[in-house]
Amino acid sequence: MVKDYFKRVYKGVSKIELAYWWILRVLMIGGIGYSLFKMDSYQPAQMAANLVGMFAYEICQMFPKKTFMRRFSHKFQNLSILSFFLASFGGAFLNFYYSIPGYDKVLHALGCGVGVYVAYECICAMQLRDKTICPPGIAAIAAMGLAFAFASGWEIFEFSFDQWFGGDAQHWDLQKAIDEAGGLDKVFMLIPLDEARLESRFALMDTMEDTICNTIGAIVMYIFLRIKPYRHTGANNINKIIEEELVKNTKEN
């Protein structure tokens, strides 16, 4: 059973892809170990949660055969694993959120773009499970909508975490953000805001700037999928695969 699982998981995965996955994972594990050695109580838990996400494809393959998760292409992990790594290892562990201006905003754009990509894979997997034809344009627009649902869910999480659990995900504590950034002049603002209104509107600006970047990333990936719907063209055209399978089943019956 275990042998069959690994054979299925790594079927079609190139050695370069596998090496790339494990290099990022090992770096993340090293960061967790270093944080534990430094007696950091929050960072190891946050990084460990992201490390689990870096095994998304392998986890999908653990689901029962009839579920759509088993039909994901391994290709989505090439982007999703990078998002988890840049957010946790780069942003939190190496403190790029504050040492590199606009790092958080770039990650939001990248993250929502990857979200559209993963959502497209999700829709394709559902097509294969249900043996249902779907035009590539509809799949792309549905993927963008699903990605926006993911992005909105994250903002809801940040709000809930701050509202009911005493967090500061939306940066209500301006002074804390200034201290972490190393000075007010290093607090990156995508949209300029005068200092008189900074304290009262900083949390709102953080959320809205994230939303703007999410939108940019989602639109860019949507345009890419409209131009190159890679799972609806060529040898990997799932619509053609489904049609051939339906014809075969009809003849057999």
pLDDT tens readout for residues 155-213:
898 889 888 987 777 878 888 777 877 777 777 788 887 877 888 888 888 889 999 99
Tokens of 253: 């019956």
Total number of domains constituting the chain: 1
Average pLDDT over residues 213-240: 94
For 50-86, the pLDDT digits (tens) are 999 999 999 999 999 899 999 999 999 999 999 999 9
Q: Which domain holds residue 153?
A: 2-252
pTM, entire model: 0.86
One-letter-per-residue 3-state SS of the chain: CHHHHHHHHCCCCCHHHHHHHHHHHHHHHHHHHHHHHCCCCCHHHHHHHHHHHCCHHHHHCCCCCCCHHHHCCCCHHHHHHHHHHHHHHHHHHCCHHHHCCCHHHHHHHHHHHHHHHHHHHHHHHHHHHHCCCCCHHHHHHHHHHHHHHHHHHHHHHHHHHHHHHCCCCCCCCHHHHHHHHCCHHHCCCCCCCCHHHHHHHHHHHHHHHHHHHHHHHHHHHHHHHHHCCCCCCHHHCHHHHHHHHHHHHHHHC
Other CB atoms within 10 A of residue 209 CB? 18
Residue 209 gets the label, from left (phi > 0), alpha (psi -120 to 50) or beta, of alpha
